[in-house]
Structure 1
Amino acid sequence: MRRHRIRGRAATTLALIAALSLVAAACGGEEEAPATTAAPATTAAPATTAAPATTEAAAMTLADVCPDPLVIQLDWEPESEHGGIYQLVGPGYEINNDAKSVRGPMVAGGEDTGIDIEVRIGGFAVGFQPVQSLLYQDQDIFMGFVRATEAMSTYADVPVVSVMATFEKSAFAIYWDPETYPNVNEIADLKDEGAIILLGRPDVFQDWWVAEGIMDESQMDLTDAPKPAAFIGAGGEVAEAGFATAEPYIYEVEVPEWGKPVKTQLIHDTGFEEYFQALGVRAADATDRADCLREVVPIIQQAHVDFLNNPDPTNQLILELVDVYDTGWIYTEGVADFAVSTMLELGIMGNGDNDTLGDFDMDRVVGLLAIIDQVTEADVSGLAPEDLVTNEFIDFSIGL
């Protein structure tokens, strides 16, 4: 069997305690139907209604107000879910295999903005540390991907403000064998079947599911069993947590030992409406670097629109980085195409309830704070949504 090292971004939580100790030392110095798993070719998004962001004005403006290079720290290996960030890397880029980063001219709509961008990967390369910790360990990092519920829990130690939601919905999902469980149409139905769910490790959404009666504690398998071997070895008797943008395609198309569709539902669609992969900055920089953020956030919004409309060139860069970095991460063109199609189909990346890509719904943030307060020991009583996220820099005219 060709062994896939399937994504483990969830493992960053396990590194958080150690990472926070490093930070301290440094500072001292409506529900959707579940998706099926066909493997479509890449699907282009509908034509955008917004004009391409930036032109020559940006070339002057960014050089005046933004760091050079502008460093963005990602939360995982190169993948299409990060395509809107890699879209910003222009021709003439250089790959640093030792640092696991790529640097090149930062472009907006194909135009040079006058500064460089450096994109760094997460995961194994950074010891699975969460980005909010890395932001405080390395002041060269300007912004990076954070998870809203983690940012809430760690705000007292590493305060981060998210300035753009690159995902409208988290891609995190549960999938199962529809042949074994023909009467299961959503995650909650697995409870009636008594199905074990391979969850990998503890997570706040699991505690909330148990509190809300969506899942029984007896269904939880937190053994971090290897993928895809554990799922296949169980012969369809278990469900599994993973990413709707990857594992369903991998299991059906790239793992012949399984070789058939699974059924999938986003965790988001159970009511746990996480902002995953939010683009965050150090809390002070939301004020101190506001001039830069005011210019650069709309550029990043438009880059996501441009990527979804024409993903192939940027996906080729992503595949090149996978090959050069050679970390053991297996990522194929088929998975890249499937990721884009699935993000569009399920609304993972795109507009929310309005015509804007990248803005935050404050009511959702209120709901997430309530969940953190309900099922964790973190004290979030003094936090307001505006402490954690902001739409100040969003251009509401930019969307799909």
Structure 2
Amino acid sequence: MISSHPSTMLRSVFILIGCVMISGCGISDSSTNPSPPPISGGDALQSAAVQLNWFPESEHGGLYQAVADGTFQAHGLDVTIRPGGRQSPVAPELVMGRVQFAMANADDVVLFRNQGADIVAVLATMQNHPRCILVREDSGVKTFEDLAGKTLQRQGGRAFLEFMRSKGLLDQVKEVPYHGSVSSLVTDKDVAIQAYSFAEPLLAEQQGVKVRKLMLSDLGWNPYSSVLITTGDMVRKQPDLVQSFVDATREGWQHYLDDPTLGNQAILKANQHGMTIEALQFGHQELKTLALPDDMPPESLGEMTDARWQTLVAQMVELDLVDGDKVRASDCYTTQFTESAEKMPDTVSVE
């Protein structure tokens, strides 16, 4: 990811959600939250749309793979992928029923629910979050504590920054805005930047600079990433559609991790913002370790645990980012669509 997700624009997202609710588009009212009609039989395909939270990149590879290789179609689905951007209205698109699914991070789901949006995670592609602080190898920074005295380019308001701040790791760090470029890091060894492990490191190294990644997951901040989300209304009233979409998405991810050729071709066609095959290949290799870490079996791809969600919500309550009376971990996700692991073919080869 070349820059942070549009969920950094949560304030505008929440305003939009509020407008929807005030105007009568109730979150759980199916009469104002239209969904695709059920399959009528025969070879008819059920239409569904999924909103990305950023421009198409390798983190969306499973979706593009499932379209390109016919996996969605094999599951009876005609899927439209809507690319995101810097201000993608993920939550409002779901709440207003303009899409049935979307991509987000787990901490975004918690924030959405804190604002009253009935949004539910149904699949988590990345078990480990790709968020990192990127530094030059010659900076002398080997740990988060070594950031003292350095300048950190970051986008304000992000939950991971509050987590770092709560541990005193930013007390002696100069924080300045981040504008989505590695140029300052390349030219100044005393500059660190927020990054995703499968994007910015390649950009820096292509400019001849060796870098080191300080992973936030090692620090204890590890929300699920590339999470497939939908509304509680969809889960309750169209579980068959949700099941089909989850099954196809999981299979698409397995195919992508095994051989990303078709998915990457589709991403390159969809992304007109400087995406390259080198960036996608780099991201694909990194994704293997994030989606299936610690010898996690391929058939478990996408699964979520209550312990992880409980930890995340507790962290965000402690950081005063959400109200513990409004958000319960058990409401943020469901495993009912990922429990049938036997449905998934064992096709992923992770080296």
Q: Shorter-chain TM-score: what band?
A: 0.7 to 0.9
| CA apart distance, 1:377 | 4.4
Partner Cα separation in structure 1 for residue 39 and residue 126 of structure 2:
25
What's 1:21 paired with? 15
- Counterparts of 2:2 and 2:303 in 1: how far apart (Å)? 26
Is the Cα contact below 8 Å between 1:159 and 1:282 reproduced in 2? yes
Unpaired stretches in structure 1, ≥5 consecutive residues: 1-5, 30-60, 92-106
User: Share of identical aligned residues, percent?
Assistant: 21
- How far apart, in 2, do the equivalents of 1:77 and 1:164 lie? 20
Q: 1:377 to 1:84 in 2, by over 3 A?
A: closer
Aligned counterpart, 2:54: 76
The reply on whether 1:241 has 2:194 as its aligned counterpart is yes
C-alpha separation between the residues in 2 aligned to 1:308 and 1:211? 36
Three-state SS of the structure 1 residue aligned to 2:139 is: coil
Establish whether residue 363 from structure 1 lines up as the match of residue 287 from structure 2. no
TM, length-normalised to structure 2: 0.85
User: Which stretches of structure 1, 4 residues or longer, exceed 4 Å deviation after superposition?
Assistant: 61-64, 351-354
Do structure 1's residue 7 and structure 2's residue 2 form an aligned pair?
Answer: yes
SS of match in other structure, 1:119: strand
Q: Secondary structure at the match of 2:100?
A: strand
**Residue 333 (1) aligns with residue 287 (2):** no
The equivalent of 2:99 in structure 1 is 141
**Secondary structure at the counterpart of residue 179 of structure 1:** helix
- After TM superposition, give the deviation of residue 174 of structure 1 in Å: 1.1
Conserved in 1, the CA contact under 8 Å of 2:105 and 2:226? yes
Going from structure 1 to structure 2, the CA distance change for 1:225 and 1:8 (only over 3 Å counts) comes to closer
CA distance in 2, matches of 1:281, 1:203: 22
Kindly indicate whether the alpha-carbon contact (under 8 Å) linking 1:62 and 1:115 is maintained by their aligned counterparts in 2.
Answer: no
Change (3 A) 1:145 1:388: same
Given candidates 174, 181, 186, the residue that maps to 1:227 is 181
Listed as ranges, the gaps of 5+ residues in structure 2 are 25-37
* SS of corresponding position for 1:391: coil
Q: Give yes or no for contact 1:80–1:315 (8 Å, CA) kept in 2.
A: yes
Measured in 1, the distance between the counterparts of 2:294 and 2:66 equals 23
Alignment correspondent of 2:134: 175
Query: d(CA) in 1 for partners of 2:149 and 2:131?
Result: 21
CA change 1:315–1:299 in 2 (3 A) is same
Instruction: Give the alignment of 1:383-398 within 5 angstroms.
Output: 383-394=327-338, 395-397=340-342, 398=344
Displacement of 1:71 in angstroms is 0.4
Q: 1:220 to 1:68 in 2, by over 3 A?
A: farther
Select 1:285's aligned residue among 205, 219, 234. 234
Matched, 1:108 2:71: yes
Q: Secondary structure at the match of 2:102?
A: strand
- 1-side partners of 2:16 and 2:294: how far apart? 37
Say if 1:366 and 1:180 are closer, same or farther in 2 by CA, change over 3 A: same
Match of 2:88?
Answer: 129
Q: Which residue number in structure 2 is paired with residue 161 of structure 1?
A: 120
The amino acid across from 1:269 in the alignment is: D
Bigger proportion of residues as helix: 2
Q: 1:350 offset after TM fit, Å? A: 2.5
